[in-house]
């Protein structure tokens, strides 16, 4: 099922299908400027082969890729970074300082993900994580600007979904590459009311107050469009901010209302139910089974992340 699939989305930006769990769930972005290339989010190791194939198709030499920028180190965003860095000799990895150690030595990341997914599923989804030499890693700082042959790309610190999350501001498109911090939105859930957008509160560094602040920070930049990793372009993003805040608050309310005993299972069920209702109110007529196929695994991550957050609050 996994062949190179891509779409030019304007502004010299190409969306590359990530084939993560299913088509249309995750993507990577390739940005071109006067012969120089940057990649935002690498996807998994499998996608790295597709990216190399696309470069060849376009007649872009591997040396022309200057920056590889995972928005954070979750594996659907950075799993193939090591493979790409090996194949692209001139590229610098740009990463949030809190993510550096996992890129230089991915053994902990690999052990953590193997514990979550099991050995077989890990191998199938992520192959293996390759370490990146520390001298090829540049840590982002707030406001740091990269020069992609005359096209400035500015790094924005956006914690909340994870402490190691950054966004990339692209002046040319007046757009922001938002990774996971401005929510997930799958094309199948789009209706006349627009796109269905919701935050995925993954483990293990979820921080709801920081997340609310990052959403406001993004809005204050007045982006005309966002490039979501999950999935595609979101136009007029300000119209969707309220829903993001509301969903985060609703999740937290559900979590705090439950006693610790058996909380995760109940939370997972409640989040599923919440979205069944919300999606209906959005005018979407998909069956609950179909909805489960599309966002069931996200809902599971939401419940896991909230459970970890709650336990941290209770210990503190
Ligand atoms: Zn993530």
Question: So where are the chain's domains?
Answer: 6-240, 243-315
Whether the predicted pLDDT of 239 surpasses 90: yes
**Average pLDDT, whole number, for the chain?**
96
Residue 34 Cα to ligand 1 midpoint, Å, equals 31
Residue 164 Cα to ligand 1 midpoint, Å, equals 10
Cα separation, 299 vs 291, whole angstroms: 11
Please give the pLDDT value at position 2.
80
Residue 174 Cα to ligand 1 midpoint, Å, equals 23
Residue 180 Cα to ligand 1 midpoint, Å, equals 5
- Say how many Å lie between the first and final Cα of the chain, rounded: 46
Residue 59 Cα to ligand 1 midpoint, Å, equals 32
Neighbours of 298 (CB within 10 A): 20
Average pLDDT rounded to a whole number, residues 149-170: 98
Residue 243 Cα to ligand 1 midpoint, Å, equals 19
Please give the pLDDT value at position 115.
84
Residue 202 Cα to ligand 1 midpoint, Å, equals 6
Residue 46 Cα to ligand 1 midpoint, Å, equals 18
Residue 77 Cα to ligand 1 midpoint, Å, equals 7
Average pLDDT rounded to a whole number, residues 220-225: 98
Please give the pLDDT value at position 154.
98
Band (pLDDT 50/70/90 cuts) for residue 234 is very high
- Specify whether the CB–CB gap between 175 and 196 falls below 8 A: no
Residue 138 Cα to ligand 1 midpoint, Å, equals 20
Cα separation, 118 vs 55, whole angstroms: 33
Cis before 243? omega within 30: no
Residue 161 Cα to ligand 1 midpoint, Å, equals 7
Q: Indicate the pairing of strand 145-148 with strand 151-157.
A: antiparallel
Average pLDDT rounded to a whole number, residues 62-68: 98
Residue 309 Cα to ligand 1 midpoint, Å, equals 15
Task: Encode pLDDT of 187-213 as tens digits.
Answer: 999 999 999 999 999 999 999 999 999
Residue 73 Cα to ligand 1 midpoint, Å, equals 7
Residue 162 Cα to ligand 1 midpoint, Å, equals 7
Cis before 170? omega within 30: no
Strands ordered across the beta sheet of 151-157: 145-148, 151-157, 166-170, 175-179, 225-228, 232-235
Residue 76 Cα to ligand 1 midpoint, Å, equals 7
Task: Encode pLDDT of 100-147 as tens digits.
Answer: 999 999 999 999 889 878 899 899 889 999 999 999 999 999 999 999
Residue 234 Cα to ligand 1 midpoint, Å, equals 18
Superfamily of domain 6-240: Ribonuclease Z/Hydroxyacylglutathione hydrolase-like (3.60.15.10)
Please give the pLDDT value at position 1.
52
């Amino acid at each position: 099922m996994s062949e190179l699939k891509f779409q030019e989305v304007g502004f010299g930006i190409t969306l590359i299908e990530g084939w993560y769990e299913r088509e249309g769930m995750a993507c990577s972005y390739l940005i071109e400027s006067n012969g120089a290339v940057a990649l935002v989010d690498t996807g998994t190791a499998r996608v790295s082969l597709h990216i190399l194939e696309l470069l060849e198709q376009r007649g872009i030499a591997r040396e022309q890729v200057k920056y590889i920028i995972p928005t954070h180190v979750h594996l659907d965003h950075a799993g193939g970074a090591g493979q790409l860095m090996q194949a692209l000799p001139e590229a610098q990895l740009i990463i949030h300082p809190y993510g550096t150690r996992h890129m230089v030595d991915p053994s902990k990341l690999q052990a953590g993900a193997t514990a979550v997914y099991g050995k077989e599923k890990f191998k199938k989804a992520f192959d293996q994580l390759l370490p990146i030499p520390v001298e090829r890693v540049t840590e982002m700082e707030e406001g740091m600007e990269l020069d992609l042959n005359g096209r400035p790309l500015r790094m924005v610190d956006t914690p909340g979904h994870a402490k190691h999350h950054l966004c990339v501001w692209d002046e040319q498109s007046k757009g922001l590459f938002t990774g996971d911090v401005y929510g997930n939105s799958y094309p199948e859930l789009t209706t006349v009311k627009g796109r269905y957008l919701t935050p995925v509160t993954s483990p293990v560094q979820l921080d709801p107050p920081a997340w609310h602040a990052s959403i406001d920070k993004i809005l204050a930049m007045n982006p005309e469009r966002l490039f979501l990793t999950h999935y595609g372009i979101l136009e007029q993003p300000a119209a969707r901010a309220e829903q993001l805040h509301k969903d985060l608050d609703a999740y937290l309310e559900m979590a705090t209302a439950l006693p610790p005993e058996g909380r995760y299972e109940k939370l997972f069920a409640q989040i599923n139910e919440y979205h069944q209702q919300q999606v209906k109110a959005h005018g979407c007529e998909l069956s609950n089974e179909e909805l489960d196929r599309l966002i069931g695994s996200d809902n599971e991550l939401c419940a896991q992340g909230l459970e970890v957050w709650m336990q941290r609050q209770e210990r503190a």
